[in-house]
Structure 1
Amino acid sequence: MKQHVPNALTLLNLLSGSIAVIFAIDNHFIAASLFVFLGIFFDFFDGFAARKLNVQSELGLQLDSLADMVTSGLVPGIIMYKLLLLTTNTSEKVYNNWSSNTDWLDFNLPIFPLLGLFVTLASAYRLANFNLDTEQQSYFKGLPTPANTLLIVSLPLIMEFQNNDFINAIILNKWFLIGLTFLSCYLLNSNIKLFALKFKNWNFKTNATRYIFIMLCIVLLVVLQFAAIPVIILLYITMSLIDNLTSK
């Protein structure tokens, strides 16, 4: 029975991601974000459960990647598409036509916002590579898809809950979104070594980077709220690069 526990958690990740897709398509970004967070929660604990119960399997590995492809691949691509769509003059027309057209030839699909789906393509490539890579046990090579998803999902949350005109103008700048899209694609498939939040023991000396990172994350989230998420991703990359240099 215990061998089914991690896979059940993985399927809950997939279910959460699928619900998030529905909400994201319908422009309910807050609800979509909630189910993304829930999916990432299940994604963390399925691997934890597999290790603790000693029931790791090839099936679990493949199932985990398939679930991540939805929650941390498709959802951020859709949200980036939607954000790019908001920077065009066609967003209202597309939404209005969605429910009224029966002929797909009448549906005006803008090409430019489709750049956001590059995030989905890059996520798929990363997940496929991850499954074949035997080195990434104690570290990640490139930005993990859940971290990248949190980065992109944070954008509508920042606009909704912090509602700063200056920040909103930056987020809804098409060049910012294009730049973030391609940066995201690069980071997902880069060779940058990033530390994993996996504790083999609780010793502070051997886990100093992880402990410091977690404490800084808590402080940033309290002070900056959702705006802390992009800062945390930048901090994660920076601390990993410093850790790589000091370890050499």
Structure 2
Amino acid sequence: MQKHIPNFITLLNVFCGCVATVFAVLNKLEMAALFVALGIFFDFFDGLAARVLDVKSELGLQLDSLADVITSGLVPGVVMFQLLGMSQSGGWNLGKASFLDEAGVDWFSYLPFFGFLITMASAYRLAKFNLDENQVSSFIGLPTPANALLIISLPLILFYNGSDTINTIILNPWFLVLLTVLSAYLLNCSLPLFALKFKNLSFKDNALRYIFLITSLVMVVTMKFLAIPFIILFYILSSFVQEKF
């Protein structure tokens, strides 16, 4: 019976991804972000449960990636689709109907669909991850959950950290296109990144992980959702420094 526990937790991730997709399509991006975060929570604990119960399996590995394609791949793509649509329609309409329902919208404007490059890059990364036996204690390229958090942080920043300057930057189509391309690149680049997997509680053996977690907590407390892009940047830079030195 216990061998099914991690897979059930993974299926909860699938459920959260499905719910988040519905909210994202309806442009309820705050609720979509909530269910993505919940799905990532289950994504972390299914692996933890598998290790604790010693029931890791090939089925669990494949199921985990399929769940991530939805929660950390499809949903960020839909969110970016909506943000690019807002940039096209001249303002942010979070919580309202999709930009496709707005009167006078040019249905032949295809820019918002460029956001699904994130979904494509996420699926490609996850397929590679399943075939790579080296990504156990570290990652090659930005993990899909981290990338999902980066993308879903944008509407949350508009909600809770918004200002005229920040809103103008986030809803600039060139910024969103550049971020989409950067996101796709980071997902599949060859940059080694450390994993938040503690083999023990020793500070000496996990100094970088402790420093990262403490710094991230301070950022969240002081900057709220605006902290998330800076945390991702700090994650990449600290991994780069660790690799070089």
TM over 0.5: yes
TM-score, normalised by the number of residues in structure 1 = 0.93
Counterpart contact for 1:94–1:109, Cα < 8 Å: no
Taking the TM superposition and a 5 Å limit, the aligned residue runs for 1:89-108 are 89=89, 94-96=100-102, 108=107
Q: Which position in structure 2 is the counterpart of 1:45?
A: 45
Q: Which position in structure 2 is the counterpart of 1:238?
A: 237
- 1:92/1:199 CA distance change after superposition, 3 Å: closer
The gaps in structure 2 that reach 5 residues or longer are: 91-96
Please state if 1:111 is matched with 2:110. yes
Structure 1 distance, partners of 2:233, 2:102, is: 38
Deviations 1:58-87 (A, max 9, x none): 000000000000000000000001100111
Q: Which position in structure 1 is the counterpart of 2:135?
A: 136
Taking the TM superposition and a 5 Å limit, the aligned residue runs for 1:1-248 are 1-89=1-89, 94-96=100-102, 108=107, 110-246=109-245
Deviations 1:14-68 (A, max 9, x none): 0000000000000100110100000000000000000000000000000000000
- List structure 1 runs of 4+ shifted beyond 2 angstroms: 89-93, 107-110
Q: Give me the CA root mean square deviation.
A: 1.5
Percent identical pairs in the alignment equals 56
Residue correspondences, number: 237
Aligned partner of residue 163 in structure 1, secondary structure: coil
User: How far does residue 126 in structure 1 lie from its aligned partner after superposition?
Assistant: 0.1
Q: Which position in structure 2 is the counterpart of 1:100?
A: none
Counterpart contact for 1:194–1:240, Cα < 8 Å: yes
Aligned partner of residue 139 in structure 2, secondary structure: strand
Counterpart contact for 1:150–1:229, Cα < 8 Å: yes
Aligned partner of residue 85 in structure 1, secondary structure: helix
Aligned partner of residue 136 in structure 2, secondary structure: coil
Counterpart contact for 2:86–2:99, Cα < 8 Å: no
User: How far does residue 227 in structure 1 lie from its aligned partner after superposition?
Assistant: 0.2
Deviations 1:74-111 (A, max 9, x none): 000000011001111399762148xxxxxxxxx93531
User: How far does residue 238 in structure 1 lie from its aligned partner after superposition?
Assistant: 0.4
- 1:92/1:192 CA distance change after superposition, 3 Å: closer
The gaps in structure 1 that reach 5 residues or longer are: 98-106
